Amino acid sequence: MSPGSSIRISLKINGGDHELPIAACDTLLDVLRDRLGMTGTKKGCDMGACGACTVLVEGRRIKSCLALAASCDGRSITTIEGVGGVDKLHKLQAAFIRHDALQCGYCTPGQIMSGLALLEEKPASLEAIREGMSGNLCRCGAYPNIVAAIAEVAGL
């Protein structure tokens, strides 16, 4: 990046502060993966259609391939790396395992991030879960198991 082509932004990601120069056209996805090494957020279609890049910004789910990183300046971001941990899984991660809600696993981080946001919306039915998760694709077809995992955590 040449000195005149960058802007400086500050992001709070998974509770940690990150200040860095970026190009004005950098997407949040590319900054997370390529600049900060947070590779849990996946690059799928790079067009906002698959949901593999879903993260939470200020608690709301967004497709990070469509968001300019500059638009997130000063905002709080949660990626899959900030959910649970190896020694203590988040209850939704544990439910995904119990319900075999993953096969290849590529879409799983985005599915979990979307599921977390959906749980905050308090879905009232299986149909509401299916509708709420409609922006996340799974090429392996684990949809019934994904819905079952979210329904378990939602208490449905």
Tokens linked to 47: 């067009």
| Per-residue model confidence as pLDDT tens digits over 44-70 | 999 999 999 999 999 999 999 999 999
Q: Are residues 9 and 78 in the same domain?
A: yes
What is the total count of domains within the chain? 2
Q: Are residues 104 and 150 in the same domain?
A: yes
| Per-residue model confidence (pLDDT) at position 4 | 53
Q: Are residues 56 and 108 in the same domain?
A: no
8 A C-beta contact, residue 18 and residue 56 = no
pLDDT at 79 over 90: yes
Q: Are residues 74 and 101 in the same domain?
A: no
Q: How confident is the model at residue 86 (pLDDT cuts 50, 70, 90)?
A: confident
The H or E element that residue 120 is part of is helix 108-120
Range of the domain at 49: 3-82
pTM recorded for the entire structure: 0.92
For residue 104, what is the domain's CATH number?
1.10.150.120
Q: Are residues 41 and 23 in the same domain?
A: yes
The CA–CA distances, whole Å, from 63 to 4, 80, 91, 107 equal 28, 13, 23, 13
Quote the percentage of the chain above a pLDDT of 90: 94
CA–CA dist 71, 111 (Å, integer): 23
pLDDT at 3 over 70: no
